Structure 1
């Protein structure tokens, strides 16, 4: 090899060529750098998700319904009580609140990780509306030998509980709806939260940027959902890293996108709920306006009862667990005897 050839392959020569290319094609180089950063963040997020699942193994059992693997926890005996968590959450929300242990003293408590949350699957060939999830939960309860149940739904889980009660009224003998969203309103925040559910673009966001942004925003989210009260110490047991996995972020975004359309779908159906119904909401909920939601639902369902909890926010089951437990007992007393 000649000295001239070696000079063209020296580190300094290669650096000069790279600088020349960067100056001539700045957008190409910027795109390459961005792609590299996104790829690294995707690998990091994948590793964090795997670690979260290893650190938080399934606490319950699994059953398969219509090809969907559902994770559930069952505890206690007596009248079946089904608990359905809100958007972005999982079984540990009810676990850390103490509601499962409290209810298991008198009820057969069954708590599901809804599709895409915790350790449950969320196949992408299904649009997981409240109706689709109600069908899945009904199938799961049939497999578990539950012909009748009291059903509690919190937040987005309240929409699933309503769909379950409207579609399977013989199954649902009583309803407790906590901090739910029932009527369509203008919600710009919902549009922003739905971005990771957009095909292709959402997948890129969900595996790269969204988990990072979610970690940064987590303290603000906790302030909003628990406000005006502080996040209780018991909630520290909630597995935050499980909620920040790309798969769960996408599931949460998809449910945010469905929130307003589903409220449109059900807004004229609530009068068809004939079972005992107790509505519970914090009167300082910063996520949902309870006057246009819970209070209106109470006026549309004649046999319902409505409990406004002073000084409480959206996470009513965490900050006013005893009130929610009393609502369950209230429904249990009012429900008809199983026939």
Structure 2
């Protein structure tokens, strides 16, 4: 009797404790939601769109455009947007001789990412090709960094008559076990992922922001210029969904793409850092180059010793040199800047 009485007596006492815990958890999620919403709005106020918009296939895309000459398309990696190419200096340096178009890929920056489409490299390549056609582009050199290399490769395979050549920087081309994929993918899940993206995931991402950048830039230090990359733009719920979805797609996309590399006929420059902690250069860049050389002899490999994943920040001049080499090979090279030749010409004109 005593034990039965104790069980009955303690049961009702436990329920208020659970209810209180649930209420606290609910309040915590509400506070997180309000904080994330405020930070998202502030990030968008502080960093309004700096480029233009084009709507194709029902999707509104944001892009930066600078310069004149042969068209050069820049495709950023996962977790960032076109601002990354601005901070690296690549847009401004290339704009001296090219018409540079740097897209925010679907879901990143200020570009839309409709949920009724699985945004594989092929689907993104199709959309961006249509966008370029809408902008009056007949052909282009396409540069991709990291995840963007898969989209660049898909463009080269889908529309080889349109793509004059590819520059692939720090790419992931072949599937491999990835713990980071498992950890980064949950915000892409329906319902639970939506709850995470609007509450705890952005806050956790902000706490890990410096560690994430450190892994990307290692062994180099995070450059002071990268302070201009607004963390909360990358941590907005909409962009977190895109990032998580691309993390989940990374391995199957590389597996599917690898089966088609033998069909690639356009000139390629494969660039990578030997100390890349995100996409191992031996497994990815060197392997892709060897396969392309065996199939078409159209590939050149450039390895940068002691450089990590953000090669376009460490050596933007090497990336620009690869772009120029592709332009020359494709027969679309602009009149490249030659300081010595210009100095000699000025001296000749002055009679020296």
TM-score, with normalisation over the residues of structure 2?
Answer: 0.88
| Aligned position for 1:200 | 191
Distance 1:23 1:241, change over 3 A: same
Q: Which runs of 5+ in 1 are unaligned?
A: 1-19
Considering only aligned residues, what root-mean-square deviation do their CA atoms show, in Å? 1.4
The number of residues matched between the two structures is 319
| Alignment equivalent of 1:68, drawn from 44, 59, 74 | 59
Is the Cα contact below 8 Å between 1:22 and 1:29 reproduced in 2?
no
| Aligned position for 2:299 | 304
Cα separation, 1, equivalents of 2:152 and 2:23: 47
| Aligned position for 2:4 | none
Is the aligned partner of 1:226 residue 2:185?
Answer: no
* 1:68-106 alpha-carbon deviations (Å, 9 max, x no partner): 110011110110000000001111100010000000000
Alignment of 1:252-291 (within 5 A): 252-291=243-282
Is the aligned partner of 1:313 residue 2:308?
Answer: yes
| Alignment equivalent of 1:216, drawn from 176, 198, 207 | 207
Cα offset, 1:191, TM superposition: 1.1
Is the Cα contact below 8 Å between 2:184 and 2:244 reproduced in 1?
yes
Alignment of 1:105-120 (within 5 A): 105-120=96-111
Cα offset, 1:253, TM superposition: 0.4
* 1:15-59 alpha-carbon deviations (Å, 9 max, x no partner): xxxxx9875432222112111210111111011101101110110
| Alignment equivalent of 1:188, drawn from 153, 156, 179 | 179
Alignment of 1:1-339 (within 5 A): 23-302=14-293, 303-336=298-331
Displaced runs of 4 or more, over 4 A: 20-23
Cα offset, 1:288, TM superposition: 1.0
Cα separation, 2, equivalents of 1:255 and 1:76: 30
Cα offset, 1:241, TM superposition: 1.4
Cα separation, 2, equivalents of 1:220 and 1:337: 41
Cα separation, 1, equivalents of 2:14 and 2:175: 52
Q: Which runs of 5+ in 2 are unaligned?
A: 1-10, 334-352
Is the Cα contact below 8 Å between 1:92 and 1:239 reproduced in 2?
no
Cα separation, 2, equivalents of 1:131 and 1:268: 14
Is the Cα contact below 8 Å between 1:42 and 1:207 reproduced in 2?
yes
Distance 1:68 1:130, change over 3 A: same
Cα offset, 1:310, TM superposition: 1.0
Cα separation, 2, equivalents of 1:24 and 1:62: 54
Cα separation, 2, equivalents of 1:219 and 1:314: 15
SS for the counterpart of 1:157 is helix
